[in-house]
Copies of this chain bind each other. A is one copy, B any other.
Amino acid sequence: MPVAFPAIAIPKRLLMGPGPSEVDPRVYRAMTQPVVGYLDGVFLQAMDEIHAMLRAVFSTQNVATFPLSGTGSAGMEASLINFIEPGDEVAVVVGGVFAARMCEMVGRCGGKLLRIDHRPGTTADPDQVRQAVRGKNLKVLAVVHSETSTGVLQPLEPLKEIAQEAGALLVVDTVSSLAGVPVQVDGWGVDVCYSGSQKCLACPPGLAPITVGERAREVLRGRQKPVQSWYLDLSMIEKYWGQERRYHHTPPVSMLYALHEALRIVLEEGLEAVWARHQQCHRAFVQGVEALGLRMFVADPAARACTVNTVHVPDGVDDARVRGHLTERFGIEIATGIGDLRGKIWRVGLMGRTATPELVVLLLNALESALTANGFACPRGAGVAAAEKMFATQPQ
């Protein structure tokens, strides 16, 4: 046999990019629980618990709340194709790469796309959105809550009104916001909401939690044609997660163990405490990078996601060298921009386990070292000092 590879030996990294993010050792341990059959009573109970915990994290009473057997992009695809039939008008609010991906998916399932662009790094203006959808027979209004490519957090309440006025379903991507900043599915009138396991939930990538409200389920029941995807057909999947327990596909058992433990960890801390911690770490990080002489990419502080923090790469500084320094000297991973923003911004994830004062300080210190080594003069120790001051004045 020509292939004789050694076992994988992954060096320890500190994942402070936009995801995947750090995984709790308890979650790794949960994955070593033995795999069992997909109709085993102990497994069905774990599914029910995942269901209950996801409802708490999404702040919803939706019956149809479960993780899909794919990554966040599978969640995005399921959240669109199940509700769109050929010719349906679908508006997508676009300020970054992930919203643009939604547009591509709308086209592939035959939706009539109304793309409402706004400048990356800013939030969408609700008046502009209202104007754009006026007079349309809109089936879906889709929006990204926390745009992982730009670090913008889009307020959802104004969009809820617009969707309701238009009689459209509000579909929301919370891949990099869920369990990091408040997400109120019921309170905000979100009809379909999905996320990914590998961001603030601090779980490995591979699952896409989704929740579907009653209005959206009615749309499912009223479809003219079956959903084009069998694998992501929500009506079938909910019959496995619901009391019918009708077999659909073999679920990724070990990943579900992981999610079960990750949800327990979030709920043990409490959602409000989790949100406050992310908020505090974000603020301290912003104070720190500004004290180092850097500028945040999202100019308006109110428009920043606490979870994905985006920073301009200063003029004359080589993005890749700085990131290389962080990885080689400190084992820290942060990311560059994607699409047009490649090489222009850094994306720093303070999500789940990395949203702690210790790691914010560690990163600022490492960043100062990397910047200094790459010809950018930072005031020595200023970043750490600014962050520590913030942590001292706003203790959790």
Contact = CB atoms under 8 A, between A and B. Distances in A.
A250 B333 contact: no
A42 B327 CA distance: 13
Interface string A152-167: 0000000000000000
B35 A231 contact: no
A209 interface: no
Interface string A333-376: 10100100000000000000000000000000000000000000
Interface residues of A, number: 85
B229 A37 contact: no
Copies of this protein in the complex: 2
B17 A206 contact: no
Nearest to A255: B206
B206 A247 contact: no
A8 interface: yes
Nearest to A48: B5
Given A37-B13, A254-B206, A229 B228 contact: yes
Contacts of A46: 8, 10
B255 A255 contact: yes
A384 B15 CA distance: 53
A196 B250 contact: yes
A36 B74 CA distance: 20
Given A1-B56, A32-B29, A260 B104 contact: no
Given A31-B32, A204-B252, A77 B229 contact: yes
Given A108-B227, A254-B255, A255-B255, 7 more contacts: A1-B271, A3-B56, A19-B250, A20-B253, A28-B32, A35-B204, A206-B253
By Cβ-Cβ distance, the 5 closest A-B pairs, closest first, are: A206-B252, A73-B249, A204-B254, A28-B32, A10-B33
